[in-house]
Structure 1
Amino acid sequence: MSGGAFGGALLRPCPCGGGPDTLAYAACCGPLHAGERWATTAEELMRSRYSAFAVGDDAYLLRTWHPRTRPDRIDLDPATRWVGLTVLRTRAGAGGEPTGVVEFVARWSQGTSRTGSDRGTLHEVSRFERGAGRWLYVDGQPG
C-alpha cells in the first residue's frame, strides 16, 4: 500500500518500538509519515523508516532518502512482515550535527502458518546526513 498506514495502525503500538512505554503509531512515527514534522535525530529517522517499511509507506521512504543515493522507485514486498527492531548503537546524529550513524537489527517474516514461514534479520549500519534542516538516509552497509 503506497503512502499510508495500515488499518487501525493509529491506535496500535508503533512498529519501531520507540518512545516511552511503546507509544502508539499516531504519537510516534505517524506524524513523521504524515509530514507533520521532521525527525530530530538520525535514530528517529531510522526508526521512522523502519516503521514505513512495516506499514508499507514507500512514499515516505523516498522522501527521506538523500537525492544522491535515492532510487527512482521502491518495490516493497507485501509478503514481508517487519516484526521487530533493535537499535544496537548510534554515533553522532543529534540536533546540530551534520552526520549520524545508526546500527540496527530488523526482524522480518514471510509466509503463513499454513505454508510455513521464513524468518530472518537485516543487520545494517546506516549513514545519515542533515541538510536544509532535516535528516536524510544516505546508505547502509551490512552489519
Structure 2
Amino acid sequence: MNNLERFYRTVHGRELLPWERQLAVRVAAALNTTTDDDFVVHLLLLYNATHVISEMHNELVASRDSLSQSNRELVHDLSMEVKRNTRTVYVLLCVVVASVLGSVWIILSLANLSHQYAVSEAHIAAALQASEHRAPGLPQSGLAR
C-alpha cells in the first residue's frame, strides 16, 4: 500500500475511486514522479479541498438564489396583502363616514320633527285659547248636559 492509498484509507475511510487513481497517475506523470511521492499526495489533498470548497460555494450560491427568490415572492405577497388591506380600510372608512352622516341626518330630522311638533302644539293651544276668548258665555259642547 503506497502513501496515496494509506492517505485515502486514513482520511476518507475508503479506497481510491477509479477517477481519483487516474488523476493521481496523470499528476505523477506530469511531475515525472510516482503516485507514491508525497508531493502528489499533497496536490491531490489540495485538489480535494478545492473541489469541496467549490461545491460548498455552489451550494451557498444556490441557497442565496433560492432565498432571494423566496424573498421576492414574500415581498410580492406582502405588497398584495397591504394593497388589499388598504382597500379594505378605505371601504371601512367610507362605511363609517356614511354611518356618521346617516346618524347626523337622523338626529337633525328628529330635532326638526320635535320643533315642528312644538310649533304645532303651540298653534293648537293658541287656537284653543282664541276660541275660548271668543265665546266665553256659550257652554262647551259635551260638558254641559
TM-score, normalised by the number of residues in structure 1:
0.18
When normalised by structure 2's length, the TM-score is 0.18
Which is helix-richer, 1 or 2?
Answer: 2
Point out which structure has higher relative CO (alpha carbons under 8 A, 6+ apart): 1
